[in-house]
Amino acid sequence: MAAPHFEMGKGGEIIDEIQQILDRNIKESRCLDVESLCIMAEESVWQFKVDVTVLNHGGNLGDACNLAAVAALRHFHRPDVTVEEDGRVTIHTHEEKELIPTFLKKIPVCLTFALFEVEDDCITLIDPTETEERVMSGKLVVGLNPHGEITSLLFPGKLCLQKHHIMSCVSHTFLEAKSIAETVMSLVEDDLEKRRSSIKVKGFLNCLRSDSVYKKQLLRERIKNVPVMKVKSDVKVKEESMEETGSEETCKEIVAESLENEQKEAYVDTSSDEEFSQDLLNKTLPEIKKEKKKKVKSKTKKNKIKLETGCRQ
């Protein structure tokens, strides 16, 4: 599914590479406290199986898979068990006893550098997109945790690098790693909070956005920053479900419209989805108004956001 050249079931070298990254970063780094998974010594133990499915190959699969696996492990809660004296093991359901979260000692983070050899110089890019990956000369994958320990180092390809170059790359990742780890953990905590207070979690319905939609959103934000419209009151952004016969309006049109009228409610088209591979880092989950009617989203129609704007005279 991820890209046209991938076939279902068949591996290829990219699977081996991702498998290697995940193995080294998660299994061999011992970020998970495996001793706590033991139920009875030499008898029974909990086994964790992580299935990573790539939906869209937008570049930098290793980082994304690593993030996804770590977030999933942190999010997972296992049932509680009691071991009787005669050796019987009882597994409690979540109604009986609270589920135990997975304890991650250190959060492994992975960062990929794309290296381009231009004459004598070597240009380094972090987090390459798919097009950049296709033309790069070499790749450096650094896995580490926020404590400063390097869990893995992968340097495939034919490119040669100077030692100081590698060291500068690695030191750069230390700064990034902390922020990434914190973002992931806070997002997982948010979701867990919501579940605890029994707000029904929408799951995938709102989390995911597509590439093109994300780029349009970036464009829109740039247009918004142009000081055409003065917003007096606080901008309340509420997400409304779309109407089937709604028309597509560009931001500029709306801005022009709102300048003519005072206190007009302007409808701005934006989307609320993000590309899966970049998603978890920058997303803010807007509140969704639940509607009973059926709404169908199509390519040309996006979510409409109600903006209450005060226009200057």
By CB under 8 A, residue 56 contacts other proteins: yes
Q: Residues 127, 130, 132, 308: which binds other proteins (CB under 8 A)? A: 130
Q: Which of 269, 276, 274 is nearest to 300 (CA)?
A: 269
- For residue 187, the number of C-alpha atoms closer than 13 Å in the C-beta half-sphere is 20
Centre a 10 Å sphere on the Cβ of residue 274 and count the other Cβ atoms it contains.
22
Contact pattern from residue 247 through residue 276 relative to other proteins, giving x for each residue in contact according to CB under 8 A and a dash for the rest: --------------------------x-x-
Instruction: For residue 111, list its beta bridge partners.
Output: 142
Span from 11-19, 31-39, 179-187, 201-209 in contact with other proteins (CB under 8 A): 201-209
CA dihedral 23, 28, 31, 37 (to 10 degrees): 90
Question: Least distance (Å) from other proteins to the CB of residue 4?
Answer: 5
Contact pattern from residue 139 through residue 178 relative to other proteins, giving x for each residue in contact according to CB under 8 A and a dash for the rest: ----------------------------------------
Contact pattern from residue 209 through residue 238 relative to other proteins, giving x for each residue in contact according to CB under 8 A and a dash for the rest: -xxxx-------------------------
By CB under 8 A, residue 58 contacts other proteins: yes
Q: Residues 208, 231, 237, 281: which binds other proteins (CB under 8 A)? A: 208
Give the dihedral sign, CA 51/57/60/64: negative
Q: Which of 76, 63, 62, 70 is nearest to 108 (CA)?
A: 70
Contact pattern from residue 292 through residue 311 relative to other proteins, giving x for each residue in contact according to CB under 8 A and a dash for the rest: xxxxxxxx------------
List of residues 6+ apart from 310 with CB closer than 8 A: 230, 231, 232, 233, 262, 263
Helix/strand/coil for 229: coil
Question: Least distance (Å) from other proteins to the CB of residue 184?
Answer: 20
Q: Residues 163, 205, 248, 289: which binds other proteins (CB under 8 A)? A: 205
By CB under 8 A, residue 53 contacts other proteins: yes
Contact 56, 211 (CB under 8 A): yes
Q: Which is nearer to other proteins, 9 or 227 (CB)?
A: 9
What whole-number distance in Å separates Cα of residue 70 and Cα of residue 293?
Answer: 37
Q: Which is nearer to other proteins, 30 or 215 (CB)?
A: 215
Q: Residues 203, 227, 248, 313: which binds other proteins (CB under 8 A)? A: 203
Question: Least distance (Å) from other proteins to the CB of residue 305?
Answer: 16
Q: Which is nearer to other proteins, 88 or 292 (CB)?
A: 292
Vertex 208 angle, CA 206 and 210, to 5°: 130
- At 96, which amino acid appears? E
What is the Rg, in whole angstroms, of the alpha carbon atoms belonging to the chain?
24
In the complex, the residues that contact other proteins under the rule CB under 8 A are: 1-4, 8, 49, 51, 53, 55-58, 130, 203-205, 208, 210-213, 273, 275, 290-299
